[in-house]
Structure 1
Amino acid sequence: MARQLSFDLPAKTALGREDFYVSPANAMAVAMISASSWPGNKLVLSGPAGSGKTHLAHVWAGETGGRIVQASRLRHEDVPELARTPIAVEDVPMIAGDLEQQKTLFHLHNLVLAEGNALLMTGRLAPKFWHLPLADLQSRIEGAHHVALDPPDDALLCAVLAKLFVDRQLSPRPEVISYLVKHMDRRFETAAEVVERLDRVALAEKREITRALASRVLTSDTDAAGPGD
């Protein structure tokens, strides 16, 4: 049997629309991202880590000619330029402890809408839990239409795992993914961690990613040597 080769290469994330799997867990969010316009020309997209917020933001930016910026990297002097196109601001709750960054985002919020462009904002939780001390900004964010990426169903979790493997140039057999879906903690974050651990162990042991290896990774310390298949 041909053995799978494993190389210690950085994962390259595919972020095109064709790489995003649509299921009932994310269909509403995908529909809103694809909409020609949003109420008030702004939208908040929430979901847990690894759920696809960044992927959808890139899809939206690609289709609208928009740009993407991390909330923590906003600079006041860049606001006029950023407001000239649709703009996605990622991980807004991360600036809850930085009043100056909140003031910058508030300025961008007002200017981009005044310019007639769309504003997309993302965070892990619903906007009411962002707790931004700048009350004017928090209220305007809560006033935006909100759509959430739900926890993954079986079909979506299979697709997420398959994509994570592909991003790392790995191609385990289908039974490996089926096994993981049935036995792993059903969180996007966990899926990324499990794939990373499988990649690391397979590389260290120069072996294929098999169902047996998946079982060992899920049930034991992956840094310890385990039995062979």
Structure 2
Amino acid sequence: MVVVIEQEPDAAETGEAPASASRSGSMDAPAATPQGGNSSDEESFEDALTDEQLREKALKQANDAKEEGNKLFRTGQYEDALLQYEVALQIASEVPSPVDVCSMCHGNRAACFLKLNRYKDTVTECTKALELNPSYVKALVRRAEAHEKLENYDEAIADMKKVIELDPANDQARKSIRRLEPIAAEKREKMKEEMISKLKEMGNSLLGRFGMSTDNFKAVKDPNTGSYSISFQQ
């Protein structure tokens, strides 16, 4: 049984602008063009802005787009939310930006893809978020859920173990690991059997030319070392 945790944007992902962006509250007033103004006046104003003011203005636009994405996510409009998060990422990438802005946008895009059952895309976005912020617990949880859906159980377990390293009190991660470990072991055993079967088929095709088959060879495991010895039988 797959347990899917209802996704919500992080508390820090609710669109609240970082402190650096909130200080730009006085930016918009001078931007108004007096009646009768023209585009050259606006260009002159833009030229007069310092690099820091331009950066703060861009960050506010990025956070506004992220907040709009969060609103769309909450109402189930995941495709539209994806577009808003992409807009936020494009704006943020054009100026020096706090890491959390971009990592959260990737994390929230992952949440959208998870809702849309696009699990490979979920893994990709979570990985991008974690490259920017390795301690992003929600991205680890989302990636683990996507890996489980893709039957990548070992990868899902690895992500949940990382969650416990970052958040030792996370009971959801512990339960997921206990549930997934026997499933992962069963999958590994099945893959091993399939591999042995393919090797036998290949061996029989070669040995058949000499009137033999893999049945003429017996593998005996040494209980002390765990290694195998092969003996030939007529």
TM-score (norm 1): 0.27
Task: Please identify which structure carries the higher strand content.
Answer: 1
**More relative contact order in 1 or in 2 (CA 8 Å, sep 6+)?**
1
Which structure has the highest helix share of the two? 2
